[in-house]
Amino acid sequence: MADKTIELSTRSEVKKIFETMEYGPAPEASNVAKAWLQQHENVLGHFINGEWYKPSNRKTYTTNSPATDEVLATTIQGEEEDINYAVKCAREAFKSWSTLAPHTRARYLYAIARNVQKHHRLLAVMESLDNGKSIRETRDCDIPLVARHFYHHAGWAQLMEDEMNGWKPVGVVGAVVPWNFPLMLLTWKVCPALAMGNTVVLKPATYTRLSALLFAEICHEAGLPPGVFNVVTGNGAFGSMLATHADVDKVAFTGSTPVGQTLRRLTAGSGKKLSLELGGKSPIIVMENADLDSTVEGIVDAIWFNQGQVCSAGSRLLVQENIYEDLISRLKERLGHFRLGHSLDKTIDMGPIVSESQLKTIQEYVDDARKEGADVFQAPVNNQVPSNGYYYPPTLITNVQTVSKVVREEIFGPVLVALPFRTAKEAQALGNNTNYGLAASVWSENLSTALELAVSIKAGAVWVNSHNMFDAAAGFGGYKESGFGRDGGKEGLFEYVRPSWEERPRPQAIEVDMKTFGANYGGSLMPAPGQGNLKQNGNAPLVDHTYKVYYGGAQKRPDGSYSRPVFSSTDPSSIIAYVSDSNRKDVRNAVEAAHKAAPGWGKRASHNRAQIVYYMAENLEMRRDEIAQRLMNFTGQSLESAYEEVDTSVQRLFYWGAYADKYGGTVQETTLYGCTVCIREPVGVIGIACPDENPLLGFVSLFAPAVIRANCVVIVPSEKYPIPALDLYQIFDTSDLPGGVVNILSGSRDHLTKYLTEHQHVDAMWYFGTVEGSKFVEFSSAENVKRTWVNYGINRNWSCSKEGQGEEFLYHATQCKNIWLPMGVTYAN
Amino acid sequence: MAYNPGINLDLEWVQKTAINLPAVNRRAATLPTKRTVKKAWQAAWLLRAVTCIDLTTLSGDDTFSNVQRLCYKAKHPIRDDLLEAMGMHDAGITVGAVCVYPSRVPDAVKSLKDAGKSYVPIASVATGFPAGQTPLATRIEEIKMAIEMGATEIDIVISRTKALHGDWQEIYDEVSACKKACGEGVHMKTILGTGDLGTLTNVYKASLVAMMAGSDFIKTSTGKEGVNATLPVGLVMVRAIRDYYHKTGYKVGFKPAGGIRSAKDACTWLALMKEELGNDWLNNQLFRIGASSLLTDIERQLYHYVTGRYAAAHQLPMA
C-alpha cells in the first residue's frame, strides 16, 4: 500500500487525541503573503501615480504581527512633500477620471472587484497577519465585503447620470482610515469616491498599512489609471496634513471621535466636504420573549467579532430584568468554550488585540471597573495563546450601572457590560443614554416590540435578532457623536458629490477667535432707541406693532426685554420698527420647546405634516398683497419682485408639502434574506441662521424642508429684514402648526448662532451668513459632532429652483437609519 | 449509555419556547468555519466518529446477505492496516451499532455473532417507522417483538400529526408508553421527524416533550423525510438537550440521521456537540450518527492520512 509511513510519534498522538478529543492547531499558511513582502525586500514605500514611490531620507515604521510580535515589513513615515506630490497626481488624474464616460469608470471598478477576488486569499492572509484579526473573519467577512463594495459601486458608476442627476464629483478626496478593518473601510471610501468621478489619496492607519499597499498594487494591475487612487503612509500629524491640504476637496474619515473632532476643527471654514464615521457604545437590547440561545450567539457576533475592535460593537448588553440571570448564565457557559489564538489559526473565535498600547488601554478600563466593585468574568482562555502576542480574553462585566466609565466610554476591545431594565420604554431610554449613536441590536420574537425599539433607538444601523451585518447596499454611519455621513448605499454617494451648479467654495483663510465670535450681546447693534428716525405716519401715531420672539407656539417677550431697531433699506437712518433682541436664554428656551415638540411632530402621519405646510401656503397666499407690500417697503425691492418672492414662497411651501410623504426611505437590496429598510429619519432639532437676501423666501426655503421631514427648528430670520419672517408666525398659528415645531428668534445672527452651535442638544446647524460665521459654526460644531450646513459667505440664488430647493435640502434635513430585519421560519415543509 | 428516567410533562416550559430561524441559521453557518481539525487531530476525530456511527440499512430490499455484509463492516469499519499505521489496531474500533428494521434483527443477531470478537449493539427502528401512522397498540407490540428478537436499542418515531396539532400531552403519553415497553435495559431513541415539523420552534418543543417522556436519545429524522439532519435542526435539538440537562441533571443523547455523508460533515457534527454540550457528549454513549455511506468517506480520508494518497473506491471493503 503506502509509500508514506507515519512516524511513531504521530501514531501515539492519534491515540491520545482519540481519548481527549481536543482541538489541534490548524494554521493558515502565510508563505505567499511573506513572499510578496520579500518581493519588496520587506520595505514598502508610498504608492503614488501608479507606482511605488520611495523618497529618500524618510523615517520608517516597522510593522509587527500582533499575534506573535514578529516583524513583517518596514514602511515609511511620509512628509509634507509626499502629500503634495500625491495630491498633485490625484488632481491631475481627476481631470480625465472625472470626465470619463460613466460606463468606463464602471469597467474599472468592476475590474478591481474581479482582481480582489483573484487575490482573495492573499489579501485575507495579509490582513490577518498585519491586524491580528482571525483569518476566518478576513476570509469570510472583510475581503468578500471589499469585492461586494466594488461590484455594487461599479453599478453606481454606471448609473450616475440617471441616479445622481444634478450632482457632480467633488474633486480630490483625502481618506483617512483606521486599523480595525484596514482594507474594508478604505474600500468604503474609495468605492463611492471613484464611482462618482473623484480621485483619492488615502492614508492607512499606522498599525495596518500592508493591505492598503498591496491593494494599491492590485488596482494598478487591474488597469486603474495612475493617480486615481494613491496610498501614502505616515503618522497622525501626516494625516492632518493630508486633511488640510488646500487642494483636497473632501475629507473622508473613519476612526475615533476625538480624532474626528480634530479633523472637523482643522477643516473648519475651508469649504471642504467632510464625513466622519466615529466611535460607538452600541446597545444590545434583549427582551423577555427573545430566543435566548440565539441571542447568546448574537452577543458573540456583537462584541467578540474582531476582538471587539468594531465601531458598531454591541458593548452594552441591556437585558429585561426577568430573564437577566438566565441570559447571563448562558453567556458565561458559552464563554467556557471560547477559543483565543493566533490570527492565522482556523480554530479560533478571537485573535490578538492590534497593539500593545491598545491592550493596555483595555486592561486599564477593566481594572478600573474592578476597583469600582464590578463583577468581572473572563473566559478561561489564556493558556492557548502564543506567548508574544497581545491577547486579551473575552470579558463580561456585571454589577455596573450607568455612571460607570466602562458603561459610558468606548473601550474598543472585547469587553461587554451588562445592565438590566424593566420595560421596553426603559430599554429605549437606556439605549439612548449615550453620546454615541452608531448601531444597536434588538432581540425579540415579537415584531411590534422589535420594530418600535428599532425606530426609537437613535442610531444609524439597527439589527433585529442579529448584529454586525454589513453590505454595500446599506449605508453605515452614525447619529450624535458617532459622526455624520454614510458609507455605502445610495445615501453614501452624497458624501462624494456636490450640486452641479455649485463650485467648491474656497473661502479666504481667516482667523476667527472662537471665544469672542458673536459673544457680545448687542455687539452688532445696540438694542436701544435713538439710533435713527422712526418713520411716522402723518400726525396720528401708527397702531404700534410689537414683534415678539416666537417659541413653543406662543409669542414671548425676549428674555432680556430689549428691542433692536430695524432700518429701512433705502434710508439707513430711518427706523422702520423695533423687534425683539434675543439672547442665549431665548436660545435655551426655544431649543427646549423644540425638543418638547419633536416626538409628537415625528409621530404625526406624513400626510398631516403635508397638510399643515399646504395650509401655510394657503394662508400666505391670502395675505399675498399685504406681505408683498411690506417686503417692498422693508427691502426696497420693486413691488413686482416682491410679488415674485411671495409667489415663489407659496410655490416652495407646496414643493416641500409635496415632499412630506415622499422621502421616507427605501428598501435596500442587501444580501440579507429578509428586509433591510432605510428610514430617512429627521436630524432632530436644527438651528437655522437665515440669509439677509430674500428675507421671506430664504426663510421659507430653509424651515420648510426641515419641518416636513419631521425636524423641529430654531430659526433666526434675516438680521437686516426680520419682519417678513416674523409675520409668518401668525400664519403658523392659523395653519395648525403645533407649538414648538418652528421657533423664531430675532436678533443678532452671529450672537444667536454662537449659542445655537454651542448648544449640545441642537443636532444640526444651518448657517447662511459670513465667512467668519461659517468657520465658527464648523469649528464649534465639533464639540458634539453636529451636522452643519454653511455657505462660507457665498450667497445663493433662492429664487432659482436648482439652488433654492431640491435633494440637497432633503439630504441636510434627514439622516439614514438602516434597520435589518432577517426573516424566515421555513426550513423544511 | 445514556439513561433518562424522564420527568412530568412541563407544558409551561414547552410553550414558552421561541426559536429564531435566521439567527439559528447564522450560528449553524459559521460554526463549521470557526472549528476545524487537521492532520492527527482530524484522524483521531474521524476514528471517534466511526465509533459513533449507527451503521444503517433500512430498505425494502434488505436481505440476509446485505445485512450480514453490513454487520461484518460494523465490526471492521476501518482496514486493519490503516488502524495499525495510526496505532489504533488495539483500540477496539467498531461502529456504535447496526440499525435495521425489526424483521432483519434476527439476521443481524446471527451475523454479528458469526463476525466474532467485539460487541456491537443492534438498534431496531420500530413503531410504524418511518411515518408512525399505525395504532399505538401495534407500535408498542412492535417494540416488544424487536426486543424479543434481540434488539438492544429501539429507535421510535413520534406522531407528526399530533405534533403539528400541538397535542403535546398525547405525544408525551405515547412516548412514555414506548419507554415503558422498552424497559430499563433497552435504550430508546426518539425520532422527531424534524423535516415534517414545520418550524424550529416545534422541533424544540418536540425535543423537550420527548425527553420529558424518558427518551434516552433524541434523533432528528428517519432519513425518509424531505429534509433530514441539517445543522440548524441539530443546533436546536442540542440546545434543548442542554436546557433539559441544566433543569433535570439527566444527560440525553443526540443522534442526527439522514444526509450525513462526508467525513467533513462528521467532524462538524462532533464540533457542534463539543461546542454546545461539551466533551461528555463526544462518545457513542451520548452521540450517534445514523448513516450508511458516511463510513466509506471516513475510511477514504484515513487512507489519505496514512498514505498521502487518495484511495480508489475499490480499495476499501464495501458495506
**Cβ atoms of residues A685 and A762 within 8 Å:** yes
Lowest mean pLDDT among A164-168, A527-531, A587-591: A527-531
∠ CA B115-B120-B121 to the nearest 5 degrees?
Answer: 130
For residue A197, give its domain range. 31-254
Chain A CB contacts of B85 below 8 Å: 2, 5-6, 11
Which band of pLDDT confidence, cut at 50, 70 and 90, is reported for residue A384? confident
Same domain, A250 and A290: no
- pLDDT tens per residue across span A785-826: 999 999 999 999 999 999 999 999 999 999 999 999 999 998
Looking at A465, A496, A516, which one is the last position of a domain? A465
**CB-nearest partner of B239 from A293, A339, A828:** A293
Which cell is B109 given?
A: 443477531
Chain B CB contacts of A445 below 8 Å: 18, 20
Mean pLDDT of B235-252: 98
Residue A617 lies in a domain: yes
pLDDT at A532: 87
How far B180 CA sits from the closest chain A CA (Å)?
A: 32
Mean pLDDT of B297-309: 97
SS3 of B167-196: the string is CHHHHHHHHHHHHHHHCCCCEEEEECCHHH
Interface mutation vs chain A, best among B15, B20, B36, B274, most A CBs within 10 Å: B20
Same domain, A459 and A385: yes
Chain A CB contacts of B39 below 8 Å: 10, 24
* Residue A242 one-letter amino acid: L
Mean of all residue pLDDT scores within chain A: 96
pLDDT at A576: 85
Same domain, A190 and A332: no
CA-CA-CA-CA dihedral for A188, A190, A191, A192, to nearest 10: 90
Residue A755 lies in a domain: yes
CA-CA-CA-CA dihedral for B230, B236, B241, B242, to nearest 10: 120
Residue A299 lies in a domain: yes
For residue B218, give its domain range. 11-306
**CB-nearest partner of B36 from A6, A26, A301:** A26
Residue A695 lies in a domain: yes
Looking at A465, A488, A505, which one is the last position of a domain? A465
The catalytic position among B251, B255, B265, B297 is B255
Asked if the Cβ–Cβ distance from B21 to A3 is below 8 Å, we say no
Gap between the Cα atoms of A563 and B274, Å rounded: 78
Asked if the Cβ–Cβ distance from A3 to B307 is below 8 Å, we say yes
Gap between the Cα atoms of A258 and A240, Å rounded: 13
Gap between the Cα atoms of A670 and A819, Å rounded: 11
What ipTM goes with this model?
Answer: 0.96
**Cβ atoms of residues A276 and A263 within 8 Å:** yes
Question: Residue A169: phi, psi to the nearest 5?
Answer: -65, 160
Overall domain count for chain A: 3
Residue B261 lies in a domain: yes
- pLDDT tens per residue across span A501-541: 999 999 999 999 999 999 999 988 999 988 988 776 656 55
pLDDT at A568: 83
- Strands A375-378 and A665-668, bridge-based pairing: unpaired
Same domain, A236 and A295: no
How far B260 CA sits from the closest chain A CA (Å)?
A: 17
Mean of all residue pLDDT scores within chain B: 96
**Cβ atoms of residues B18 and A290 within 8 Å:** yes
pLDDT(A340) > 70 = yes
pLDDT(B248) > 50 = yes
Which cell is A394 given?
A: 473575552
Residue A479 lies in a domain: no
Distance, C-alpha A745 to centroid of its chain: 29
Residue A510 lies in a domain: no
Helix ranges, A245-375 (H): 257-267, 292-303, 321-335, 356-371
Q: For A331, name the nearest residue in chain B, comparing CA atoms only.
A: B276
**CB-nearest partner of B87 from A12, A823, A824:** A12
* Residue A317 one-letter amino acid: L
* Residue B33 one-letter amino acid: T
Same domain, A292 and A244: no
- pLDDT tens per residue across span A703-717: 999 999 999 999 999
Same domain, A225 and A99: yes
pLDDT at A829: 63
Mean pLDDT of A211-230: 98
Distant-in-sequence, close-in-space partners of A609: CB < 8 Å, separation ≥ 6:
A601, A660, A661, A707, A708, A710
Same domain, A293 and A192: no
Same domain, A297 and A234: no
Same domain, A245 and A374: no
Q: Is B255 a catalytic residue?
A: yes
Cα separation of the two ends of chain A: 47
Which band of pLDDT confidence, cut at 50, 70 and 90, is reported for residue A3? very low
Catalytic residues of A: 277
Omega of the bond prior to B130 within 30 degrees of 0, cis? Answer: yes
pLDDT(A200) > 50 = yes
- Strands A229-231 and B217-219, bridge-based pairing: unpaired
- pLDDT tens per residue across span A10-62: 778 999 999 999 999 999 999 999 999 999 999 999 999 999 999 999 999 99
CATH code, domain with A60: 3.40.605.10
pLDDT(B42) > 80 = yes
pLDDT at A8: 58
CB pairs under 8 A between A and B: 151
**Which has the closest alpha carbon to B163: B225, B107, B117, B216?**
B225
pLDDT at B2: 72
How far A825 CA sits from the closest chain B CA (Å)?
A: 6
**Which has the closest alpha carbon to A24: A336, A346, A349, A394?**
A346
CATH code, domain with B125: 3.20.20.70
Which cell is A667 given?
A: 428598501
Overall domain count for chain B: 1
Same domain, A226 and A292: no
Asked if the Cβ–Cβ distance from B308 to A4 is below 8 Å, we say yes
pLDDT at A1: 44
Residue B311 lies in a domain: no
**CB-nearest partner of A291 from B23, B86, B309:** B23
Gap between the Cα atoms of B167 and B7, Å rounded: 18
Residue A650 lies in a domain: yes
Coil vs helix vs strand at A379 = coil
Residue B97 lies in a domain: yes
The DSSP secondary-structure symbol of A225 reads: P
CATH code, domain with A292: 3.40.309.10
DSSP A741-804: SEEE--S-HHHHHHHHHH-TT--EEEE-S-HHHHHHHHHHHGGGT-EEEE-TT----TTSHHHH
> How many CA within 13 A on the CB side of residue A559?
13
Asked if the Cβ–Cβ distance from A23 to B35 is below 8 Å, we say yes
Gap between the Cα atoms of B202 and A679, Å rounded: 34
Chain A CB contacts of B27 below 8 Å: 294, 297
Question: Higher-confidence residue: A677 or A531?
Answer: A677
Looking at A418, A448, A465, which one is the last position of a domain? A465
Residue B4 lies in a domain: no
